[in-house]
Amino acid sequence: MSKNIRIISSLNEMNEFSNELKRGSKKIAFVPTMGALHEGHLSLVSRANQIADHTVVSIFVNPMQFGQNEDFGNYTRDLEGDTDKLSSYKVDAVFLPDSKDIYPENFQTYLEVTEIQKELCGKSRPGHFRGVATVVLKLFNIVQPDYAVFGQKDFQQLKVIERFVKDLHLGVEIIPMPIVREEDGLALSSRNAYLSEEERARALSLSKALYAISQRFRDGCKDAGLLVEEGMNILNNSDVNDIDYLEIRDSQNLELIKTAQSGNLVAVAAKIGNTRLIDNIIL
């Protein structure tokens, strides 16, 4: 294990360490993750290093945001690999809480962002965003960051978090970061590791569909129905059959739109084999 990174599992110790770090008006930037780190996560850590005096990264595979038949049990856990990757950055602490401390016996308090959580992934993953919002609020309370850095890869998650930070008057500034992709366009994801070679080739059609829609929009087509059809053809022609959604929505309130405009969100979710992947692009 990497020698110079401080790993903290105790909630109290993390809270006290944050208080120490913040002494003398020093700022903390926080990067919450579920581990299995890749360049997408590391771009957030790099940003955190730029904007604050101190960086805290959490690794917690949050059981509450996984559904019954989802991959919680199989989700990649690689603490040694993760701390190795983080050792190239300035990371003051890796917060590695234990599930039984985060959700002690008799735990019964949840955070819901009632409108934004309903759409897109919220439809096929009931309870997912409630789990995300609840754990992120808890992590914010423990780590007390000045900034928290999130990827636009999980666009709806970002909107859920921005909303509750505003609604609850939290004193943390949310910093969004662009999606990091492989050279061929595939969005980096911890779940890409599950894909066989054949599945990876099919997975590539998600970003291809988004790029094709974006190109058609730039060519002058504003009809959301036609734009989506363009993307659907690419998915269908690549044997991506298990499509959860491919939609164009307002990027703030996530409402469906009929006439596309610059700044709209095009979001896709599909299952490739057993692996559910998401991706998006802003027009």
Residues of this chain that interact with ligand AMP (CB under 6 A) are: 33-34, 40-41, 43-44, 150-151, 153-154, 177, 179-180, 187-190
The CB-nearest residue to ligand AMP is: 151
Q: CA torsion angle for 216, 220, 223, 227 (degrees, to 10)? A: 0
Closest CA to 11 of 60, 53, 44: 60
Q: CA torsion angle for 193, 198, 204, 206 (degrees, to 10)? A: -90
Residue 54 falls in the annotated catalytic set: no
Please report the DSSP string for 87-122 in residue order. Answer: TTS--SEEE---HHHHS-TT-------TTGGGSTHH
Tell me how far, at minimum, the Cβ of 57 lies from ligand AMP, in Å. 10
* SS3 state of residue 127: coil
**38, 41, 54, 128: which one is catalytic?**
41
Output 188 or 283, the one with its CB closest to ligand AMP. 188
Contact between 148 and 33 under an 8 Å Cβ cutoff? The reply is: no
Tell me how far, at minimum, the Cβ of 191 lies from ligand AMP, in Å. 8
Q: How far apart are CA 156 and CA 119, in angstroms?
A: 9
Tell me how far, at minimum, the Cβ of 62 lies from ligand AMP, in Å. 8
Contact between 186 and 223 under an 8 Å Cβ cutoff? The reply is: no
Output 48 or 187, the one with its CB closest to ligand AMP. 187
Closest CA to 210 of 238, 191, 174, 177: 238
Tell me how far, at minimum, the Cβ of 179 lies from ligand AMP, in Å. 4
Output 18 or 190, the one with its CB closest to ligand AMP. 190
Output 39 or 239, the one with its CB closest to ligand AMP. 39
Output 54 or 159, the one with its CB closest to ligand AMP. 159
Tell me how far, at minimum, the Cβ of 227 lies from ligand AMP, in Å. 23
Catalytic site positions:
41
